[in-house]
């Protein structure tokens, strides 16, 4: 069941032979909908962006990254 923070507007996609024009209530409802959708995904979007940056950094330096992981694991095994 969907719950809305605002009263949903009934959309009509048929022009019924009239001029197709966007009303002010349609633009207002669309703006509210976009604000609602974008506010919930900010943290997920920033996490996704950080993951892409890390992946890009590692992909550009794959040999260095692999060698660093090997050195860290080797040092960890040597110390234990």
**Every domain of the chain and the residues it spans:** 24-79
Share of the chain above pLDDT 90, in %: 19
Structure-derived torsion over alpha carbons of residues 31, 36, 38, 40, reported in degrees to the nearest 10: 180
Minimum mean pLDDT among 5-9, 21-25, 27-31, 71-75: which range? 5-9
pTM above 0.75, yes or no: no
Q: Count the Cβ atoms, other than its own, within 10 Å of residue 9.
A: 15
pLDDT of 7 higher than 70: no
pLDDT given for residue 21 in this prediction: 72
Rounded to an integer, the average pLDDT of 68-74 is 94
């Amino acid at each position: 069941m969907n719950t809305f923070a605002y009263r949903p507007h009934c959309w009509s996609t048929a022009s019924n032979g009239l001029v197709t024009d966007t009303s002010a209530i349609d633009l207002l409802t669309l703006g509210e909908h976009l604000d609602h959708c974008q506010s919930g995904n900010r943290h997920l979007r920033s996490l996704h962006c950080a993951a892409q940056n890390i992946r890009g950094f590692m992909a550009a330096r794959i040999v260095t990254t692999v060698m660093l992981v090997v050195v860290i694991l080797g040092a960890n095994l040597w110390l234990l």
